[in-house]
Structures are given as structure tokens and as C-alpha cells.
Chain A
Amino acid sequence: MKVRLKVWRQKNEQSEGGFQTYDTPELNPNMSFLEMLDVINEELTEKGEEPIAFDHDCREGICGTCSLTINGKPHGPHRGVATCQTYMRSFHDGETITVEPFRANPFPVIRDLIVNRAAFDKIIQAGGFISVRTGSAPDANNLPVSKEVAELAMDAAACIGCGACVAACKNASAMLFVAAKSSQLNLLPQGKPEKDSRVLALVKTMDEAGFGNCTNQYECSAVCPKLISEDFIARFNRDYIAAGFRSKFSSASSVSAGS
């Protein structure tokens, strides 16, 4: 099979970008989408042109480095799969495929299809943790956690931090990412003491980073490579409202203790 690629090229963050079209050589349908880009890049290099820059690392769907919006859909056509596990057999012979970077103001393009997702790190630094010193932990079985709660926390924890939720959201909101991280920690008994300060800090940092607002359309969970549910957004909203009230009215709120 062969395809035609319409790819976003941009020299750096400051420069204007634009689309360029490339025709691939004959491809094996069992190639991954990224391997197809590798093939094009080899050709470009041999022709003395600059290869297309794109983010990737583990190529097994877990590191969250790969991105790409393929025909308008972050991580390509399949549900619950990252770009690196998207294969060329998912496309038609002769198809024109539009490849764009993840688009969001807090994710500036730094080259071609690579964006800077440091805003996610900033959010985690503000509250995506449980404050525990190395070596100070009690025995792991001192704190039983019901299987249901542990499983739900794991559902949230599966997030790979790729940013597809932001890219797919019509408003470039980071709610699914933030809600997943927050819910994982808030669900577990270990995370409860800092629950209120955590959600308040996360929302504050998320807003400051310039992400949009959730309008409950759930494009995020539809593209999430780990299929994280929008339920966690509802949970996060609830936790935020409760934290807001407690910070105002309760003297024992974890907000005053935590921040």
C-alpha cells in the first residue's frame, strides 16, 4: 500500500508552520504508523532534506511520549490505542492522511509534530503526590484498601500523561488528566489527608497554565489510549466543590494544614 501524508512542519516555537505533502513508497500494512514515518524520514535524509520531527519512545503504548493528531483524531483511528500501536492496515491504500501536532495553547509546538507538555509536570508538582518521606512509611499491610477501591484507583492511575485528552477536547481542557491523577490519590486512604489541598492546588495550577474548561463532551475519554472514564471528572468536580466549602467553613480542613 501507499499513502499520501499531509504533515505539519514547523521549524521551532517562534516560526510559522505549514503543511507539506509527502507520498510514501510502498508500505507493508503491518508497519506501525511511526515506522511509516521512519521510512519517510530515511528517504528524506537520503534526499538531503530534514526529516519530520515527531515524539516517540517506548513504542509499546505506555510511556506517553508519542502524540500526533491523525485525521483530526489524537492517536489515530482506533479506540484505546496510542499512535505507536496504530498500524498502517488501519488506513486505505491511496488515502491522504493529515498529521498535525496536538494543538493547545499550553502545549506549544517546538518542532514539526513535537509539542512541549511541561504544563502537565507543573500540575503534578503542585499537588499530584502524597507527601511521604523516604523511609517513613508504615508496613504496607497496615492500611487495608478494599479491592474495589484499589481497582478504581488503578483505573485512574493508568493515565500515561500523553496529553491526547487536551488535544481532543474542543476547549483544550486538561480535566481528564488532572481528574485521573487526583482521583487515584483521593480514592486511597493514604491520599485522604491532603485531599482538599490537592484538588485546590491542581485546579489553580491547571487554570494558570491556560487550559480550557470542561464542557462535558467527553471527547477526552473517547481518545484516551487507556480509556480513562469521564467519571473521574465528575468525581474531581465533587472533590473540588467539597474542598471549596471545607476551606471556607471547616477549621479542620486539610487546606490550612496542607498549604
Chain B
Amino acid sequence: MNLDAKTPSGPLAQKWDRHLIESKLVSPNNRRKFEIIVVGAGLAGASAAASLGELGYKVKCFVFHDSPRRAHSIAAQGGINAAKNYQNDGDSVYRLFHDTIKGGDFRSREANVYRLAQVSANIIDQCVAQGVPFAREYGGLLANRSFGGAQVSRTFYARGQTGQQLLLGAYSALSRQIGLGNVTMFNQREMLDLVLVDGHAKGIVVRDLVNGEISSHSADAVILATGGYGNVFNLSTYARGSNATAIWRAHRRGAVFGNPCFTQIHPTCIPVSGDYQSKLTLMSESLRNDGRIWVPKKVGDKRAPGDIPEDERDYYLERMYPSYGNLAPRDISSRAAKRVCDEGRGVGASGLGVYLDFSDSINRLGLDTIRERYNNLFDIYKEITDENAYEVPMRIFPAVHYTMGGLWVDYNLMSNIPGLFVLGEANYSDHGANRLGASALMQGLADGYFVIPYTIGNYLTTALGKRPPADHPEFRKAEDEVNGRVKRLLDNKGKRTVQSFHKELGKIMWDYCGMARNEDGLKKAIELIPQLRAEYWENVNVPGSGEELNQSLERAGRVADFLELGELMCRDALDRKESCGGHFREEHQTGDGEALRNDDDFGFVSCWEFKGENEPPVMHREPLVYEEIKMAVRNYK
């Protein structure tokens, strides 16, 4: 398989500019002859659809939500990075690039990350012009905050709702294009298949979620911007509807999946409170600035936190990482929490939680200072848990919250299927094995506003007049398959609910492919998941019919895909015999429990090719060539 990244030649800093000059342009009068399908309207999808519509392409945008403003980009809290150097603290494109590569544990593509850092500054300009109300200083200029993994202050923010504000900015730009007739919006349509004609992506099959109608839409190119797949774990900080169906269907049609096992687990989430739990809520990482994390020293100590004397508490992060202490990076703190809970020292009813205690800070700084800093977060915590964190320590536990892996793309953001482009969290491109805070928003908007409008021309100029009609036999075939699958799910009439399968899959994934992975566990998961999948198709019960709004059916299709994707993640995790970023293999750690990377053997992107249902997938490698920087060990001790 030819996985040519098409990285431009020349010095790193000139690659993007050179590529822009060398890229082919579509003339304005030809643009209206091209139809482009965009699936998803989060940051990446909405910004792409708006920008392409504005250029004069005929864009059709599909979302499963009732409005393009609902995508889960909206939930991002902290901010968006940009190399503006407004703080005069020595930031630069190079520094942002370097931080992102290092944060990603040297598993991302140099040229892509450099481009991301280059266009980051344009994103802020664009968003401000759209009316995004970023935080300001008293002088009227933009404010910044600092974020993990950086020594400069480069994060722009809009209170704790940065993702929402950026998404609404992109949504407003998209709405304008819809109003002008340049973009046709299809709400409540779920993409259920990708259609290839002569090996090129030429359309999609969608189901109308309101009346169940299955229809085909052809185009000259298809863009997937459908987000990440963390819901394979069932419980995550993702929205309930977030799913992998679009990228998984594309994968089954031949799109290669890059680094599926790279998952980010966020250390500070509110723990699971019961079996009914549907969602995990993130608490901002900033709490770790003033909170001390501890568990009882004794196994199974069920006393109330206040009754446990100081010398019977284990402030394990401070003990294990004396120099970083409670501020150890995300992956490291998450794993440490898992370790102490595995030892039976976890707190709360479930035993899956650790204390985040503010009493020392309250004694030292006073209640008012803590209240001023974290009031909003303490309120959210109170709302969800009914506990007052000013009086009793918070309980936190890690949760899945981002997937760095995704469909493989080249420098043009095109997958190995010609005409299929993948943007945002849905692609594997910029974050390597670990994503830094405030970089997800940056990537989504970079891809949509500043990359795809220029790079898509390289494909389109080869494709003029090649759009098939939507009744081409390939579409009929795909529709039949989709209909067959829907019918199979509905006719099954088994004994178990979709939810029960999703829960069981989530547990397998969390136990064996979660924060820490090992060979035995992964092998076990690779055995268990196909069994569960087989049972699913035997025994799942999907009520209702296909000709109506049927939320059980929607979920059933998504869980069926997760049941396949989960296995691939485990296979990838098993294959990658090293620890890097969010991927921690217990066999590969240093004497003191740190991740041990193996650049010589695993300095590549694992690119998985689908070979058929119940056939083992085949792995290809895209070697990661670092021309500019040297791979080094991340050290946070």
C-alpha cells in the first residue's frame, strides 16, 4: 500500500508556503461545478463547509444533530493555543510547533505540526473578526492564560466556554453561507456508508433520522469531520451521540486507520457514581494548582476523609514525583490514580476515586481566595455530587476524553482513498501519542479554515466532470447494504438491549485497553470482543421500526461499529510494544514506572487496513522522519 504523506520538500519553515504555491487552483467559474460533501459540523466541519461555500463550491453539509451548532466541540472549556506572542514572553511558531511535537511524544508528523503552528495565529484573527468574545485585558487587547506543556502564555479563551464560542463563530459563518445558498444543510442525517466509484470517494449514503429514509448523495469529494471515537469506552467525557460510524464505514471501504490505540485519558473527572451512569464530567485541570491528591495508606480504609489522620494519608503524586507533585502531566497522574485504586486504596463507594483536597490551600490562602479562583468549578461539583468541596475533599478519577488516532491523511488531509478528506479529531495528524491542552480547537479550525480550502484543489483539478449521478449502481449497492444492516438489527429481536452491550464493551476496553495496557490483557480483549460482537448480532434487541425516529436503532448501528473498532484498538495497542504518550504498556516502563519509548522500532504511524469482517486487519507503516528536531525523552521528575 502506498501511504505517501506528500510532505513538501524544502526547509520545514517553508514547506507550507511552498506547498501553497505549488498547489493547483480551481478557477472561480469551475468551482460551482464541484459539489463537496462535508459530514459533521463541529469546528472542523463547520469551518470547512463555510470556507468552501464562500469560495464558490457547492457544499452539502450533513449532521446527525438537529442543528449544526450542537457538535461536541462546543464542550471544550479551556482555550485555544496560538503563536501570537502577544504576551512578549518569547513565543513563536517554532516554539508552539516544538511544544506540540514534544507533548505528542514524538509520534506526529513534523511538517503537519509545523503548519498547524503557522496558521494558529490566523485562527485567532478570523475568530475575532467573526465576533467571538474572547477574554480581554483592561486595555482592550486580548488576554491569554497558560496551559499544560508550555512555558509561555499563548492560550486564548472565552470564560470556560471557549469551544462553544469558537463553534458558534464557525456556525455563524456556516449559517451565512446557508442563507446565501452556497451550502445546503442536512440536519438529522446520519452517514451510514461511503460510496466509492472507480476507487474514488464520490458520495455517501445517509439515513434521515426523523423518517428513516435512506438516501444517496453524490459529490466530487467527501470530507469527514466527524470527531473522535472515545465513546467506544461507553463512559467518557464525550457527548452521548459522539460516534465512530462515519470514519468506521470509510475504514471498511478502504480508508486506513492511523494509530487507533492512541487515547487520551484526563485525570480530573468526577468519578462514576453508579451503574446507571451515562457520562463523565470533566473538572478543569487547573484545580490541581491548589488541590492535593491523596488516598488512605491502608487498603480498604472506608473512614470519612476527615477521620483519616495526616500520617495515614498517602499524597502519592508528591511522593512519586517530588518535583512536579500534584502538577504531574495528564497521562502520568492518570496512571498513578489507577495504580492506587488497583491496590484497593481508592475512595468513594465504588473505590474508583482519589481525593483532591483543598483544605491545606484554604488554611494557607483563606476560603475567599479559593472561592474566587474556583467558585464556578466547586458549584458544578456540588450540582453533580451534592457534596461541598470546601468542606470535604473532591473525589476525582481519570476518564477517556480524546482520541489522537483516526483516519490516516496525507499533507493535503486526504486519506488513502482519493477524494476522501478527513479533518479535525477524526483524522490522525497532529497530536501524535498525546494531545496538549488547548490544541484540539486549534487543529479543528486550522484544518477547516486554513488547510482544506487550499489543499482540496489538488484533488479537484483532477476530478472535473467525474461526479457520478446518485443513482449510479455503486450507490444502489451501498444503499442495499445499509438497508440490509438496518433490517438485520431490527429483525433480530434478541434479549439484550444495545446499552447493555455498549456497557460490556466499554468495560472490556477500559480494563484492557485503558490507562495501562499489557500483552495478556490485550490478548484477552481481542478474544472477548469478537465473542461479544457475535452475541450482539445474535441477541441484540432493537425495538421500533426503521421508518420513524428510532433512537435505539441509531445507537445500535453505532455500537455495532464500536464493537469492530474496539478490537482494532486492542490489536494496535498489542502491536505497539513501547509506551508513548497516552499509550502505556506495562512491559515497557523504566525502573520507576515511567513510559519507555522505543523510537528505533516504533517511530512510525501504524496504519491499519481493513481486510473484511472477522479477518485480521493488516498493518502498514508510515515512518516518522524528523528532519528538524531530535526525539528526546519527556522527563517530568
Please report A residues at the B interface, Cβ cutoff 8 Å: 11-12, 28-32, 34-36, 38-39, 42, 44-46, 48-51, 53, 55-60, 62-65, 81, 85, 87, 89, 110-111, 114, 116-118, 120-121, 124-126, 128-141, 143-147, 150-151, 153-154, 157-158, 160-161, 184-185, 188, 190-191
Contacts and interface: CB of A to CB of B under 8 A. Distances in A.
Contact of A55 (B66, B176, B541): B66
B86 interface: yes
Nearest to B493: A48
Nearest to B137: A147
Contacts of B75: 58, 60, 62-63
Contacts, number: 221
Contacts of A44: 543
Interface in B43-60: 47, 50-51, 54
Contacts of B240: 56-59
Contacts of A57: 65, 70, 72, 239-241
A117 B281 CA distance: 26
B365 interface: no
B543 A121 contact: no
B176 to A, nearest CB: 4
Contact of B168 (A48, A51, A157): A157
Instruction: Give the 3 A-B CB pairs with smallest separation, nearest first.
Output: A144-B140, A137-B129, A125-B179
B453 interface: yes
Interface in B62-93: 65-72, 74-75, 84, 86
B165 A157 contact: yes
A133 B499 contact: no
B276 A157 contact: no
Contacts of A35: 276-278
B397 interface: no
Contacts of B552: 45, 51
Interface in B537-567: 541, 543-544, 548-549, 551-552
Nearest to B279: A59
Nearest to B53: A134
B280 to A, nearest CB: 9
B281 A150 contact: no
Given A32-B278, A59-B240, A147-B137, A50 B543 contact: yes
Contacts of B450: 134-135
A187 B483 CA distance: 50
A117 B67 contact: yes
Given A30-B385, A64-B70, A137-B122, 7 more contacts: A12-B548, A35-B277, A42-B497, A59-B278, A87-B383, A157-B158, A190-B129
Contact of B135 (A29, A110, A150): A150
A140 B347 CA distance: 47
A39 B497 CA distance: 12
B175 interface: yes
A85 B383 contact: yes
A121 B67 contact: yes
B619 interface: no
Contact of A132 (B129, B453, B541, B551): B129
Contacts of A60: 75, 237, 279, 281-282
B133 A153 contact: yes
A226 B122 CA distance: 30
B67 A120 contact: yes
B176 A131 contact: yes
A131 B504 CA distance: 48
A228 to B, nearest CB: 13
Nearest to B139: A144
Contacts of B47: 134
B136 A147 contact: yes
Contacts of B70: 57-58, 63-65
Given A50-B544, A57-B240, A62-B164, A143 B72 contact: no
A45 B497 contact: yes
B178 interface: yes
B551 A53 contact: yes
Nearest to A88: B276
A57 B64 CA distance: 11
B277 to A, nearest CB: 7
A161 B386 contact: no
B66 A116 contact: yes
A191 B277 CA distance: 43
Nearest to B127: A140
Q: Taking chain A's interface residues, is the majority helix, strand, or loop, or is none over half, making it mixed?
A: loop
A129 B136 contact: no
A132 B130 contact: yes
Contact of B129 (A46, A63, A138, A160): A138
B274 A31 contact: yes
B526 interface: no
Given A87-B386, A145-B140, A31 B276 contact: yes
A46 B540 CA distance: 11
Contacts of B128: 137, 140, 143, 190
Interface centre among A38, A49, A125, A134 (most CB of B within 10 A): A134
A135 B124 CA distance: 11
B311 to A, nearest CB: 32
A150 B163 CA distance: 17
Contacts of B133: 150-151, 153-154, 157, 184, 188
A65 B142 contact: no
B176 A140 contact: no
Contacts of B165: 154, 157
Given A30-B274, A191-B131, A48 B158 contact: no
Nearest to B128: A140
B425 to A, nearest CB: 15
A20 B132 CA distance: 44
A117 B65 CA distance: 11
A160 B549 contact: no
Contact of B161 (A39, A137, A153, A158): A158
27 contacts: A31-B276, A32-B278, A42-B499, A45-B497, A45-B552, A46-B541, A56-B240, A57-B65, A57-B240, A58-B72, A58-B240, A62-B74, A85-B383, A85-B384, A111-B210, A111-B549, A116-B66, A125-B179, A135-B122, A140-B129, A141-B84, A141-B86, A145-B136, A147-B140, A154-B158, A188-B131, A191-B131
Contacts of B72: 57-58, 63
Given A51-B551, A184-B131, A191-B131, A129 B175 contact: yes
A62 B173 contact: no
Contacts of A30: 273-274, 385-386
A133 B125 CA distance: 11
Contacts of A63: 70-72, 74-75, 239
B596 interface: no
A51 B47 CA distance: 36
Interface string B381-409: 00111100000000000000000000000
A55 B125 CA distance: 35
Contacts of B187: 118, 121
Interface in B214-267: 237, 239-241
A141 to B, nearest CB: 5
Given A49-B543, A65-B70, A147-B138, A130 B274 contact: no
A30 B281 CA distance: 14
A34 B276 CA distance: 10
Nearest to A129: B172
B158 A121 contact: no
A137 B131 contact: no
A152 B125 CA distance: 20
Nearest to B67: A121
B185 interface: yes
